[in-house]
Amino acid sequence: MTSTDSTRLAGKTALITGAARGLGAETARTLGKAGAAVVLTDILSDAGQATAEALAADGIDARFVTHDVTSEADWQRVVDTTVAACGGLDILVNNAGIEVVHMLADTSLEIFEKVMQVNSTGTFLGMKTAVAAMKPGGPAGRGGAIVNLSSIAGLSGFAGVTAYCASKGAVRLMTKAVALECAALGYGIRVNSVHPGLIMTAMGKAAVEHFVAAGLVPDEEAASAIFASRQPLGDGRPSDIAEAILYLSSDAARWVTGTELAVDGGFSAG
């Protein structure tokens, strides 16, 4: 069975955060093409609605819900809406995230806490709410898969992104803790993390620009050369990340939980 099999996720419902654009939108498309009903969420309401409509026009069962991942009440509303509209919840992809580039001395507590709230607290709340819905006796109640988007910055440190590294490192270890807890309690819920390298989405391009602005590299060409030297397989595409998420979301990964899957062109191997 290949990832292009349109029945691979048939009968399943997937909720993808930060899905208005970039990796989230590509993940929604990939899971939808594999047969899942997809619920896209984001704070970018207009872009999110437009993406969901484009997917629906392409034959995918897709809908959009506005969502602030830092709000516990919003998480409950979104999960309740998903279960009511789609008849269940089988897959959660915690993709929503932000990145800022600041030297440590220039990183305010407000900036640090904002990054942690979106990237770490948002993932925590997503897992908490989804597990309650997916576990036996929950409103969905048939188990499932959770995929958390961390980063190569959750595996290694990088200058200028202390807050981002802290938040993505937290995602990595929360993933393992929740995976073990769900397995020990017999919930039938697998939890894994994906660690992308630099992908030139809008967020990836902005990160490069911020590295230049911070004086860490002289220009964007130099930044690209550095990443090229560390990624022996060359540049990655959003679809590379989405295919990894598809695998971890599917029954093909039935014996995989608590793992960290680096999809980075070899960056973390060096």
Q: What is the token pair recorded at 57?
A: 């026009």
How many of the other CB atoms lie within 10 Å of CB of 43?
A: 17
Q: Which helix (H) or strand (E) holds 190?
A: strand 189-196
Order of strands, sheet of 260-263, starting from the edge strand that comes earlier in the sequence:
62-66, 37-42, 13-17, 91-94, 144-149, 189-196, 260-263
Pairing of strands 37-42, 144-149: unpaired
Q: What are the C-alpha distances in Å from 10 to residues 34, 35, 36, 249? A: 7, 4, 5, 12
Q: What are the C-alpha distances in Å from 22 to residues 91, 146, 200? A: 19, 19, 9
Nearest CA to 23 among 51, 58, 2, 64?
Answer: 51
The Cα–Cα gap between 36 and 61 comes to: 7
Nearest CA to 177 among 131, 223, 208?
Answer: 131
| Catalytic residue (one of 124, 164, 187, 211) | 164
Tell me whether residue 164 is one of the annotated catalytic residues: yes
For residue 160, the one-letter residue type is G
For residue 226, the one-letter residue type is I
Phi, psi of 145 (to 5 degrees): -135, 135
Asked whether 15 and 130 are in contact (CB, 8 A), the reply is yes
Active site residues: 164
